[in-house]
Amino acid sequence: MWQKKNLKKLTPLEVTCSSSDCDNNLHCFTQNIKKLTPDDDGKCKYCGAELIDPNRIRRRDLSDIQYTFDSLKHELWRHHYWHIDIDIRAVNHAHRKGKKGMREAAEHRLEKYIGTANPLYDGRQTPKTGNIIYYAQHATACCCRKCIEFWHGIPMGQALTKDQLKYFTDLVMLYIDERMPTLPEDGEYVPNLQ
């Protein structure tokens, strides 16, 4: 039957949030924090590699952000989002908004989808494409409250404070700076895709 798109076409790397590729030094650290023994906290759940110091990351200290970002990149799922191409719709959307507009959009999105005590569909509320904020959220582990609990040390079941939301907004913007370094401050005209 006629199809508009080849739906069977697979992406080169089918990554999920619990994937690992330990042989290539890309692991999976994200785990249910309540079931973790202090001894296993920060170890890859598949191979046991100890590459991150979770307590250092959970201080949420922007002056130590390079350590946090380097640690996130040791996890396959995050690494994927630090490196895949940003899709064209997301690139155009970011240019239409500019950095200022993206900061506002990130604030709104984070508050609405991860900021409440019990977000709806937690773990599935962050799409994969269409907006660079989604890429940033997966890359910096503020995609859902499970990832936030493990990586950033904020327990599930409580609303995020203004300071915590600001921290995640800063992470999203630092990601955008790294991935789109030439994005202008103000939005600009970008024609619609044909």
Closest distance of CB 128 from Zn ion, Å:
12
Give the nearest distance from C-beta 50 to Zn ion in angstroms.
10
Q: How far is the CB of 76 from Zn ion (least distance, A)?
A: 9
Residue 25 host element (H or E): none
Q: Which is nearer to Zn ion, 72 or 105 (CB)?
A: 72
Minimum CB separation of residue 17 from Zn ion in Å reads 6
Query: Smallest gap, in angstroms, from Cβ of residue 146 to Zn ion?
Result: 6
Which of residues 165 and 183 has its CB atom nearest to Zn ion in the complex?
Answer: 165
How many Å is the Cα radius of gyration of the chain?
17
Closest C-alpha among 169, 58, 43 to residue 108: 169
Nearer to Zn ion, 44 or 105 (CB): 44
Residues 6+ apart with CB under 8 A from 159: 115, 116, 117
Q: 46 or 67, CB closer to Zn ion?
A: 46
Q: Which residue has the tokens 């999105």?
A: 109
Chain residues in the site for Zn ion (CB under 5 A): 20, 22, 27, 44, 46-47, 49, 143-144, 147
Q: Round to whole Å and give the CA distance between 19 and 176.
A: 24
Name 68's Cβ contacts closer than 8 Å, sequence gap at least 6: 56, 57
In the complex with Zn ion, the residue whose CB is nearer, 50 or 64, is 50
Residue 147 or 183 with smaller CB distance to Zn ion: 147
Which DSSP string corresponds to 109-156? HHHHHTSSSS-TTTTSSS-SSS-HHHHHHHHTT-SSHHHIIIII---T
Give the containing element (helix H, strand E) for 100.
helix 88-113
Q: How far is the CB of 185 from Zn ion (least distance, A)?
A: 30
